[in-house]
A and B are shown apart, each in its own frame.
Chain A
Amino acid sequence: QVQLVESGGGLVKPGGSLRLSCAASGFTFSDYFMSWIRQAPGKGLEWISYLSSSGGTVRYADSVRGRFTISRDSARNSLYLQMNSLRADDTAVYYCARARGSTVPFDYWGQGTLVTVSS
C-alpha cells in the first residue's frame, strides 16, 4: 500500500537549519509530483513547495522561497526539504504529499513530522 513517512523534525533555534525526509513506498515514486505542506499548531494548511516527477520543475510559496530547498532522490524513493534560516513562524507539522501532476489534487499524505523553532 502507499506509504509516505516523514522524518527529521525536531526542536531547532531561530536561524538554524533542519532537513526533512519523506520515504515513499507502494507506488512508482518517479511518476508523481511531490509537495511539502505544513500546518502550524491549531491552524490551517499551507502549501510550501512542489517538485515535478522529473525534478525539472520546482515551485515555492513566497513564505519560504530563498530559505527552503526541495529535492528528491528517485533511487532512494525519497523527498527532502532543506530548511535554513528558520523562524518561529515556521513551527508546524510538515506533511509530504503526492499528486499526479501540478494541476491535480494531493491524493495521499504522510503522517507528518513536527518542526518546532524556539530558543
Chain B
Amino acid sequence: DIVMTQSPDSLAVSLGERATINCKSSQSVLYSSNNKNYLAWYQQKPGQPPKLLIYWASTRESGVPDRFSGSESGTDFTLTISSLQAEDVAVYYCQQYHSTPLTFGPGTKVDIK
C-alpha cells in the first residue's frame, strides 16, 4: 500500500499570509506513460464533505481560486495557499489515486493566527 504522510499536523497563519502544506508518498505515484503524478488535494470544512482542489499534483480544479497551487518534486508534494483568506480555514488532505487501495494523508488543519 502507498502510505501518504503530511506535515505539519496543523498550522496557523495570519490573514493574507502564505500557508504551505507538505505531503509525501511512500513510493512513486508517477505514471511514466504520461509523466503525471496521481496526486490530489482536497479541502474539508467543518460539517462538509471534502472538495477537490488540485489534481495531477498541480492542476487546479475548475472554480478553485488561483491562490491555491500545487507543486511536486519526486515523492514530495506541496499545497500552497498564497494569501490565506478566512474561508480557507479547513482540513486539507492529499490523496494518491495511482493504485488501490486509494489512500489519503492524515490531514493538515489550517487556522487563522
List residues of chain A with CB under 8 Å of any chain B CB.
35, 44-47, 50, 59, 61-62, 95, 97, 99, 102-112
Is B102 an interface residue, CB under 8 A from the partner?
Answer: yes
Nearest Cβ on chain A to B47's Cβ, whole angstroms:
9
Within 8 A of A (CB), among B30-49: 31, 38, 40, 42, 48-49
Asked if B98 contacts A103 (CB within 8 A), the reply is yes
Q: Are A105 and B95 in contact (CB under 8 A)?
A: yes
User: Are the C-beta atoms of A47 and B105 separated by less than 8 Å?
Assistant: no
Binding site for A on B (CB under 8 A): 31, 38, 40, 42, 48-52, 55, 61, 93, 95, 97-107
Note all chain A residues with C-beta closer than 8 A to B31: 103
Q: Decide if the interface of chain B is mainly helix, strand, loop or mixed.
A: loop
In the bound assembly, the distance between CA atoms of A104 and B95 in angstroms comes to 11
Knowing A103-B97, A105-B40 touch, does A47 contact B102 (C-beta < 8 A)?
Answer: yes
24 contacts between A and B (CB under 8 A): A35-B102, A44-B93, A44-B105, A45-B93, A50-B102, A62-B101, A95-B49, A102-B100, A103-B31, A103-B38, A103-B97, A103-B98, A104-B97, A105-B40, A105-B95, A105-B97, A106-B42, A106-B52, A106-B95, A108-B52, A109-B49, A109-B50, A111-B48, A111-B49
- From residue B90, how far is it (CB to closest CB) to chain A in Å? 13
Asked whether A105 and B50 contact (CB < 8 A) given A44-B104, A61-B101, A62-B101, the answer is no
CB distance from A35 to the nearest CB of B (A): 8
Distance in Å: Cβ of B42 to nearest Cβ of chain A = 8
Residues of A within 8 A of B104 (CB): 44-47
Chain A contacts for B98, CB-based, 8 A:
103
Shortest Cβ gap from B49 to chain A (Å): 4
Q: Is the CB of A107 within 8 A of B52?
A: yes
A108 to B103 Cα, complex, angstroms? 17
A61 / chain B contacts, CB cutoff of 8 Å: 101
